[in-house]
Amino acid sequence: MTARAKLILVAAIVACGGAPAIAAPAGLTGLDVRADAIVDLRTTEGAKSVGAVWKYANAAVVSLDFRAPGADLKPTGAPIKTFDLTPRASGASFDDSAWETIDATSLETRRSTGKLAFGWYRLTFTIPKQLGGFDTAGTTAVFEIVVDDYAEISVNGTMPVVLGGGGSLGATIHGYNSPQRVIVGRDVKPGQTATIAVLGINGPFSNLPANYVWVRSATLDFYRPNRIEDAHRAGGTVERLDPALDAIVPPAAAIEKLASGFQFTEGPVWHPDGYLLFSDPNANTIYRLTGDGDVSIYRAKSGYTGSDIAAYGQPGSNGLTIDRDGRLTIDEHGNRRVTRLERNGTLTVLADRFEGKRLNSPNDLIYRSDGALYFTDPPFGLPKFFDDPCKELPYSGVFLLKDGKLTLLTKELTGPNGLAFSPDEKFLYVDNWDEKKKVVMRYAVRPDGTIGDGTMFYDMKAAPEPEALDGLKVDRDGNLFVSGPGGVWILSPDGKHLGTIKAPELPANFAFGDDDRRTLYMTARTGVYRIRLQSAGK
């Protein structure tokens, strides 16, 4: 039995035994370590050190005309009445000159009108050159506030709103009297100014208390350069078999651990809004991970909600990718389908049957530049894999979805898994999860998106480790990154093994991320890791 199968089996046994199905993930964010300098914005001294000015004004609920949802799920239906909040004071250029200026020491004063109540706090400050001998230049500055009872935060007019929540960083309502942290800036410079707007909200709404809005704590925290990265050092090695690897993985590159405590991490994709999404198919969850290691749940019940879920080892989502319009596309194991998450929150089923028969359990997927979707469909998400009585297709296929038509491209592999295009999209690479045939296949891609006969690009059968092949990615120079026996194998475009990234846990899959696409994020069993590269991903 493979290591992957053992993990799946253990998960199924745990679920059948009634133990908790989801372990709480543990972020290792550098922001969780002690800050190098802290400014208490509730004190006269602290406020003075950064030139902080606090202002306050009540907000009010007002009635206005609106429209009911139309067929497009937007406000295009019949005229109705609704409510809004005034003023809208989150913008950086909002004129708060007429507002009350409040003393930093008075933040604990009860404000607002009480009961169903809202109040705006606006704060401006300047990054100082030093704080008690600590140089702030180049640091990461983080604003943290605890509002009684809830808060929403904007920094310089921007409130990053993302699906999900629950991490330690959060600009939107984060929990009853919970600390909320937002990054003011990285690599800050003395003299740099910032404006923060905080909407304080009394609650809970369903059982309104007889109290008011007030601030329990407010600080500005500074972290030295590389402090966050240093907090993630994880060990592991890079096996260098060819000098050419140095142009891909720098000799000084270190493996960092960003988060842990998951059941089995898979299917990562870098979101254009600047964070990593990845699946835990065993936990039936999609998580969101920031570059600082902050973890939150992006989508619960990501692949299955059936009453027989205890029979599944991996009922949740697996592969994730983003289409040309920035929409998340999901391989759902338990539901045996490929779906797309629309911007309005609805799911569109892209593929669930081929020639009238249900798919096995779509595993990995990629888009071509023209919008054509390719995915692999082994049975690893079914309770009994190849022997599952619910399996309808007699093979494991690689499929193409183009212009609404689903086409079987090949069924020659027993466990087609990861897949990726060459940079020019003339070739499709597919690897195989099969301990008896550990191969990467290469197929020429025709203009219509279909493929020719496959040729074996690389065979890993001689590797001493037992694992077969899983995730697969290609960088802009055509080098292949393959989850193979012992780690992430890096193969040159002509099929030479240049070296292997050996993280503390075996990566199942990976994604190129950050703005420059030069960070390799690796989903590896119970943790998520990363390493900075010299080469960039597609």
Tens of pLDDT, residue by residue over 55-103, are 999 999 999 999 999 998 899 999 999 999 999 999 999 999 999 999 9
C-alpha atoms less than 13 angstroms from C-alpha of 133 in its C-beta half-sphere: 0
How many Å apart are CA 81 and CA 391, to the nearest integer? 51
Give the confidence band of 291 by pLDDT, cuts at 50, 70, 90: confident
| Residues contacting 158, CB < 8 A, separation 6+ | none
Domain shared by 120 and 20, yes or no: no
Of 290, 328, 312, the residue nearest 182 (C-alpha): 290
The predicted model gives 396-419 an average pLDDT of 98
Report yes or no on 521 lying in a domain.
no
Q: DSSP class of residue 449?
A: S
The predicted model gives 494-505 an average pLDDT of 97
Domain shared by 144 and 66, yes or no: yes
Predicted confidence (pLDDT) at residue 528 exceeds the cutoff of 90: yes
Share of the chain above pLDDT 90, in %: 82
Question: Which H, E and C letters describe 123-148, residue by residue?
Answer: EEEECCCEECCEECCCCEEEEEEEEE
Work out the angle at residue 219's Cα, subtended by the Cα atoms of residues 213 and 221, and round it to the nearest 5 degrees.
150
Report yes or no on 398 lying in a domain.
yes
**pLDDT for 23:** 43
Domain shared by 189 and 268, yes or no: no
Tens of pLDDT, residue by residue over 380-397, are 999 999 999 999 999 999
Domain shared by 21 and 116, yes or no: no
Give the confidence band of 292 by pLDDT, cuts at 50, 70, 90: confident
Domain shared by 88 and 75, yes or no: yes
Report yes or no on 526 lying in a domain.
no
Domain shared by 293 and 354, yes or no: yes
How many Å apart are CA 279 and CA 299, to the nearest integer? 9
Report yes or no on 515 lying in a domain.
no
**pLDDT for 234:** 83
Tell me which residue has tokens 């690009």. Answer: 457
Report yes or no on 255 lying in a domain.
no
How many Å apart are CA 534 and CA 252, to the nearest integer? 11
How many Å apart are CA 40 and CA 49, to the nearest integer? 10
For the ranges 17-31, 141-155, 465-479, which has the lowest average pLDDT?
Answer: 17-31
Asked which of 167, 196, 224 is the last residue of a domain, the reply is 224
Domain shared by 440 and 301, yes or no: yes
Give the confidence band of 5 by pLDDT, cuts at 50, 70, 90: very low
Predicted confidence (pLDDT) at residue 464 exceeds the cutoff of 70: yes
Phi, psi (degrees; rounded to nearest 5) at 9: -65, -45
Tell me which residue has tokens 């309770």. Answer: 383
For the ranges 253-257, 333-337, 363-367, which has the lowest average pLDDT?
Answer: 253-257
Decide: 350 and 329 in contact? Cβ < 8 Å: yes
Share of the chain above pLDDT 70, in %: 91
Here the CATH number for the domain that contains residue 190 is 2.60.120.260
Report yes or no on 481 lying in a domain.
no
Tens of pLDDT, residue by residue over 161-215, are 666 655 666 788 877 788 888 889 989 999 999 999 999 999 999 999 999 999 9
**pLDDT for 290:** 86
Predicted confidence (pLDDT) at residue 123 exceeds the cutoff of 90: yes
Predicted confidence (pLDDT) at residue 31 exceeds the cutoff of 80: no
**pLDDT for 161:** 64
CA 482 vs. chain centroid, Å, equals 21
Domain shared by 195 and 308, yes or no: no
Range of the domain at 116: 30-224
**Hey, which bits of 224-336 come out as E strands?**
237-240, 256-260, 266-271, 275-280, 285-289, 295-300, 317-322, 328-332
Domain shared by 13 and 72, yes or no: no
**pLDDT for 298:** 92
Decide: 341 and 308 in contact? Cβ < 8 Å: no
Q: What is the mean pLDDT of the chain?
A: 91
The predicted model gives 150-158 an average pLDDT of 94
Domain shared by 189 and 264, yes or no: no
The number of distinct structural domains making up the chain is 2
Q: DSSP class of residue 165?
A: B
**pLDDT for 19:** 32
Asked which of 224, 242, 277 is the last residue of a domain, the reply is 224
The predicted model gives 149-159 an average pLDDT of 93
Tens of pLDDT, residue by residue over 205-253, are 999 999 999 999 999 999 887 665 565 678 899 999 999 999 999 999 9
